[in-house]
Structure 1
Amino acid sequence: MNTVAPAPTPTTRALTWCLHLLVIGLLTLAAGRAVAGDPPHPGGTVAAAALCASVYATGPLVRRHRRPRRVAALWLAAVGVMWLVLLALSPEAVWVAFPLYFLQLHLLPRRAALVGLGEVVDGGLPCLLHMARLDDATLPDALERLCATTSARHRLTARFRLTGAPAPLPAAHEVALLRIAQSALANTVRHAEATTADVTLGYHGDHVALGVADDGRGFDPEGLPAPDPTTGGFGLVAMRARAQAAGGTLAVDSAADHGTTLTARLPLTPSSETRPEARP
């Protein structure tokens, strides 16, 4: 079978440059708004955007490698991880999901590209939609709605519980917690074979905790294989990156046939440091 890539045409060259300009432009936009606005971590946002752009800029080196397809998958995985870190720091980075979608279709084998597309659709688009919903709803409301939607669409009973008095959170923290809950429930639906899942949001003085517990088959957290860019295995890695980018932690407690409990803890930011738009 001939594995030589077809020579690029003027049209494909133009599309490629448009894609490059779109990625760099969106990353610049996220960094610029971090500098111009008042986000919780402006320096971290700018650094993450710059690092993501730097990793992306190494893309042309992929074709020179002796195994370009595998290296392309690893490069795309690195870009994706950096994007998720940036997304945890700045919701503005959600728009980068669209050029990443085209990159996956172009670089990965068809089956892996479809898996990657599912990750982008599950990751970028719901984040964008829920960011808009958070403008007119509290984080507890959004989590409760997420549980209701999950129960309606899947053979899983998802229940929400709130403990403690809700406190103001930066917008980036709210988006991070919502995305962690989405990813955890998505993993439960796909892999756990569970019948129920309990989502708990608790405010505990100096920190907020999000817990997602299911009664599924469980797994050995220490025995998980390394993330594979061709199968979309970045769920726990992405969730942990989100928590750590927000200054928090993510813990997983699971065992075979004993279900899984995932707990994310983020520090509570004093209300004086919270942007006005962080709350509806």
Structure 2
Amino acid sequence: METETVRPRGRVRAFSPSLRPGTRAVAVWLGGLCALWIVLLVLSPDALWVAFPLYFLQLHLLPTRWGVAAVLVTAAAAITSFVAHRQEIAPGAFIGPLLGAAVAIATVLGYDALFRESERRRELIVELVATRAELAEAERTAGTLAERERLAREIHDTLAQGLSSIQLLLRAAERTLPGDAPATAHVRAAREAAQANLAEARSFVRALTPPDLEHGSLAAALERLCARTTGPGLTVRFAVSGTPVELPTPYEVALLRTAQSALANTVRHAGAGRAEITLSFMDTSVALDVVDDGRGFDPAAVPVDERGDGGFGLPAMRSRAATLGGTLSVESAPGQGTALAVTLPVAGPVLGEERAA
């Protein structure tokens, strides 16, 4: 047998479904009970003592506003009955019923406030647990992506570059050998094997690249990043300068990650209304500029966040650029916006090797 637990939004209820608070059956039952009590009041003034449990019943079964009104009417009926039967007006006739009504109202309202606070804290705990789970998942995802980027960079910088150099040397050796020399065929076979392995290594690198770079170029990935970046009153534009060329995968990853970090800082800290990313292709280098018109900051006095990562992630961006032989510069001042520029040296032969195979 399946059971269902229903959490009430108000006070805890412990009645059968036919007497569930707020239903018509409750109103009829409670009205009949009060009518019976009034009959008892008419017959004997001692029935006023029944008013005290009746207070709590009314406050429990009726909505707060109607419950308080019913308690006050019940107290007035008790006082009226006492005065009518005793033919005198005594302080006790007023103090007893009114004090009982005040105690009942204070007790029930206090319990309601305690229950609401308990529910609020329970909901906060549920949200906290969910947030911790999301944070843990985000950290695992970030760790996985970081490890994939590290492997891609290592494969590109060691294995792929080594195979590329071997291929170039074998091609040079093949050109210097006579066409009918016995070693020519072996050199050609070695060069083709190196070329095939280089293509395989580069396919590994592509498989380990961030998802944003799996479909399309770096420019397309940056344009998508600008389109999905949102903030209060923030408009993000993207522009390309120069003739786009295919960059080595580590270069594209570094530039994309830098743009992501810079835009995240703009959304979280800058309070900017406009931001622009420009990707510039030059003869011997590629540059990424991220400019916003936000509140700016003093680069010489960058705060350190709670995780110990100082400078809004600037050290990580500088390290990523330095790994590829590039530079990162930041120009900013309080109230004057921020301009971040990353420049990576990219020689023509490197681009040619990246397109090879």
Alignment correspondent of 2:307: 230
Amino acid at match of 1:272: G
Gap runs ≥5 in structure 2: 1-142, 165-203
1:223 Cα deviation from its structure 2 partner: 1.3
Partners of 1:228 and 1:262 in 2: CA distance: 20
Alignment correspondent of 1:273: 353
Amino acid at match of 2:345: P
- After TM superposition, the score normalised by the length of structure 1 is 0.52
Give yes or no for contact 2:246–2:355 (8 Å, CA) kept in 1.
no
* Structure 1 residues 154 and 244: alpha-carbon distance in aligned structure 2, compared to 1, 3 A threshold: farther
Alignment correspondent of 1:186: 264
Gap runs ≥5 in structure 1: 1-21, 43-90, 96-126
Secondary structure in 1 matching 2:325: coil
Alignment correspondent of 1:110: none
Residue from 249, 259, 275 that aligns with 2:327: 249
Partners of 2:220 and 2:337 in 1: CA distance: 26
Secondary structure in 1 matching 2:160: coil
Give yes or no for contact 2:288–2:342 (8 Å, CA) kept in 1.
yes
1:154 Cα deviation from its structure 2 partner: 5.9
1:224 Cα deviation from its structure 2 partner: 1.4
Amino acid at match of 1:128: P
Alignment correspondent of 1:139: 218
1:111-159 Cα offsets, whole Å, 9 max, x none, are xxxxxxxxxxxxxxxx7332xxx232011111111000104x6642110
1:177-216 Cα offsets, whole Å, 9 max, x none, are 0000000000000100111100000112111110000000
Q: Does 1:129 align with 2:211?
A: yes
Q: Does 1:37 align with 2:159?
A: yes
Map 1:89-168; keep pairs closer than 5 Å.
128-130=210-212, 134-151=213-230, 155-168=233-246
Give yes or no for contact 2:156–2:250 (8 Å, CA) kept in 1.
no
* Structure 1 residues 250 and 31: alpha-carbon distance in aligned structure 2, compared to 1, 3 A threshold: closer
Give yes or no for contact 1:171–1:275 (8 Å, CA) kept in 2.
no
- After TM superposition, the score normalised by the length of structure 2 is 0.42
Partners of 2:287 and 2:154 in 1: CA distance: 31
Residue from 262, 266, 269 that aligns with 2:340: 262
Secondary structure in 1 matching 2:215: coil
More helix by share: 2
RMSD: 3.5
Bigger relative CO (Cα 8 Å, ≥ 6 apart)? 1
Partners of 1:37 and 1:242 in 2: CA distance: 20
Amino acid at match of 2:286: V
Amino acid at match of 1:182: Q
Q: Does 1:220 align with 2:220?
A: no
1:276 Cα deviation from its structure 2 partner: 5.2
Partners of 1:195 and 1:36 in 2: CA distance: 43
Partners of 1:266 and 1:35 in 2: CA distance: 15
Q: Does 1:203 align with 2:281?
A: yes
Give yes or no for contact 1:38–1:275 (8 Å, CA) kept in 2.
no
Give yes or no for contact 1:249–1:265 (8 Å, CA) kept in 2.
yes
Amino acid at match of 2:160: D
Amino acid at match of 1:235: G
